[in-house]
Structure 1
């Protein structure tokens, strides 16, 4: 079975793009055939020549300006148009519709459907759904609650404790929560958005707390790995259980300012859980392939 993963160019600061590229790499490492498809590269549609021409011009302009960056450490070849035939096309949840007109479509929920694209949702009736975290699963679309596809790369080469001494103050991050109202005094605190991983790790090792307005970001885990206590600002009406149904995903993280003691007590459990997740990533990909083979073969005549 051949897999084509629709993604933007590699960006170390985008967790979604990182795992899309890592999925391609792991599939190839496990002996399958997998390719990346640049996010804005259009399909060939002879029935709409003018629209296709416009989309190609837009794609080439973006290619000239931004290119399609890859991580040279990952095995992530780019798909050709010939590769589309009979392939399973994997879209992140932000993709509206089926722009590649694929017969076999997987939707990988890397966040809540509609969260990152203004609420636009257009899924196919026969699409197969997988979720990255249980918090992103949606039973309105996914009929298989066991379809968990979770790939972990924690960047422990960068994020680790380098300061076992005194820590002072706090930093904060916005990321996907940039539209939310700030509820803490930002005087003397540093915004870590836009910093490199190395710069962010340095800040996490200097401060005691990281106040996070992004409720679902790997940077909360990175903070814990550096000995910092991340404090996630709760969303209105969302309980702790609703925020993270799986308790293991809460370890080391305070959900609100009154939850700091829990974060301190469970930090060792998070570090154990990270090691467990890394070992389970390949098993998750193997299950993904088996489920795709079973599901899409049922549509063949």
Structure 2
């Protein structure tokens, strides 16, 4: 029979190990693979995907990005965020451990191209507007960015509104004299080929991916000094303008007939169209828009916890019999292997010299 002192000692030891487990011993949790384009600061949808990956990792989950379409890894992410890229080794480890990945596709990607065992469809814009399917499979777990988008998805399970704009960067100047206006027409102008309206003829255009595109600080300064911001589409810039107390005017067009997230942040500071009465109302209410926005940080945290609980439960019951294949990271990718070979050879040349590098190369070729 175990003595009382020994029993207490064992219990204390288990308690100590249990206390360390959250720091040193990783839990066997289903990972999250988030499929997203490279980070683009002016895109609310893309930022939401990257921030979701960041937030999941901050909460102790394992979350990785799959950059799609492919983009050089060094320029795919925001260095400030905890958004590691998925590798073949990680994918193989999860498969061998029987951890079915929870793969999050945005609505712009049709189907399930990477053959994920469990698909979460994150609808960030109106289905089919920017590509992708108009309807989704019954086995997909659909979530939406806003309540308004949820109305366009037959079986939406959850609304996960992510505050994507940083109020530490975008804030107003006190008592500044505002003059002129600025506008944004990224997808409307360059993707859809839309014609600009006369109202923006004398406005400063905000662009992205151009040699003279403004930096975040320059955009913030522009918002702080402008009397109004016009936009031809749904964009993260709208929220950033409101945070700088710059009224936002959405310009209705064939590609913009609704505002995403209007149920969440409300109409304060926002005008639909160029009617003087609507713009005057936006100007008079813009000062409350910032506080409306701030309250969503707490709401997002609560909804993210619910999302994690529900997706982990479903993944527990999803078989993972065949490994996913992600071509851009797969070992059979010729261009990936070629690049790695050149990189390893160049690194060895710098560290070991030409003679030793040649010897090792010959041994590798001969299989020795």
TM-score class, shorter-chain normalisation, is 0.7 to 0.9
Residue 51 of structure 1: aligned partner: none
Matched, 1:257 2:268: no
Give matches, 1:83-162, under 5 Å: 85=95, 86-117=100-131, 120-121=133-134, 123-144=136-157, 147-162=158-173
Counterpart among 78, 89, 94 of residue 85 in structure 2: 78
Matched, 1:200 2:229: no
Counterpart Cα distance in 2 of 1:169 and 1:191: 12
Which has the larger displacement, 286-295 or 133-142?
A: 133-142
Which protein is richer in helix relative to its size?
2
Q: TM-score w.r.t. structure 1 length?
A: 0.80
The gaps in structure 2 that reach 5 residues or longer are: 1-29, 209-213, 321-368
Matched, 1:220 2:238: yes
Is the 2:249–2:272 Cα contact (8 Å) retained in structure 1?
yes
Matched, 1:164 2:182: no
Q: TM-score w.r.t. structure 2 length?
A: 0.67
Is the 2:143–2:156 Cα contact (8 Å) retained in structure 1?
no
Corresponding residue pairs, total: 274
Counterpart Cα distance in 2 of 1:237 and 1:6: 25
1:17 to 1:67, Cα distance in 2 relative to 1, 3 A: same
Counterpart Cα distance in 1 of 2:126 and 2:255: 16
Counterpart Cα distance in 1 of 2:53 and 2:75: 15
The gaps in structure 1 that reach 5 residues or longer are: 41-58
Give matches, 1:164-183, under 5 Å: 164-178=175-189, 179=192, 180-183=194-197
1:239 to 1:14, Cα distance in 2 relative to 1, 3 A: closer
Deviation at 1:12, TM superposition (A): 2.1
Is the 1:151–1:284 Cα contact (8 Å) retained in structure 2?
no
1:9 to 1:236, Cα distance in 2 relative to 1, 3 A: closer
1:83 to 1:89, Cα distance in 2 relative to 1, 3 A: farther
Counterpart Cα distance in 1 of 2:78 and 2:270: 30
Counterpart Cα distance in 2 of 1:99 and 1:236: 30
Provide the alpha-carbon RMSD of the alignment. 2.7
Deviation at 1:8, TM superposition (A): 2.1
Instruction: Give the 4+ runs in structure 1 shifted more than 6 A.
Output: 236-240
Q: Which of 1 and 2 has greater Rg?
A: 2
1:83 to 1:92, Cα distance in 2 relative to 1, 3 A: farther
The SS at the match of 1:210 is strand
Residue 231 of structure 1: aligned partner: 249
Counterpart Cα distance in 2 of 1:176 and 1:115: 11
Which has the larger displacement, 171-180 or 192-201?
A: 171-180
Deviation at 1:71, TM superposition (A): 2.1
Residue 15 of structure 1: aligned partner: 44
